Amino acid sequence: AQKVTQAQTEISVVEKEDVTLDCVYETRDTTYYLFWYKQPPSGELVFLIRRNSFDEQNEISGRYSWNFQKSTSSFNFTITASQVVDSAVYFCALSEAGSGTYKYIFGTGTRLKVLA
């Protein structure tokens, strides 16, 4: 069965601190995709990154970086030098391509509060 676990319900950091959001997934499929989305108070889910199961290279985009490790079924997200504008709920999602299903399975989200 497919499942995404975001064990951290809420994290509070002071501005300029680094913070890592954890994501652990379960799937029996060998071909799958992982995503991170940001949900600010306005409610819209903002796409951040997409990763396929065959690409374990870590990725960096500005202050954001992602660490994908198939051995531990984890896809963690790090924000370096956090800013107040990073305050939001962050969701990790999984989609299995091999089973003919294209729905996304989301975790329960991690609420990040960055304090000035």
Partner 1 sequence: DAGVTQSPTHLIKTRGQQVTLRCSPKSGHDTVSWYQQALGQGPQFIFQYYEEEERQRGNFPDRFSGHQFPNYSSELNVNALLLGDSALYLCASSRLAGVVDTQYFGPGTRLTVL
Tokens at residue 49, please? 């990154």
Binding residue for partner 1, selected from 11, 33, 64, 113, defined by CB under 8 A:
33
- Rounded to an integer, what distance in angstroms lies between the CA atom of residue 58 and that of residue 96? 20
Beta-carbon-side half-sphere exposure of residue 115 (alpha carbons within 13 Å): 4
Q: Is there binding between residue 37 and partner 1 (CB under 8 A)?
A: yes
Q: Is there binding between residue 116 and partner 1 (CB under 8 A)?
A: no
Q: Is there binding between residue 30 and partner 1 (CB under 8 A)?
A: no
Torsion, Cα of 116, 114, 14, 79 (10° steps): -130
Binding residue for partner 1, selected from 3, 16, 28, 50, defined by CB under 8 A:
50
Q: Is there binding between residue 54 and partner 1 (CB under 8 A)?
A: no
What residue type is 59 in one-letter code?
E
CB closer to partner 1, 77 vs 91: 91
Least Å distance, CB 23 to partner 1, is: 11
Nearest to 21 by CA among 115, 96, 111: 111
Residues lying near partner 1 in the complex (CB under 8 A): 4, 33, 35, 37, 42-47, 50, 91, 93, 95, 97, 101-109
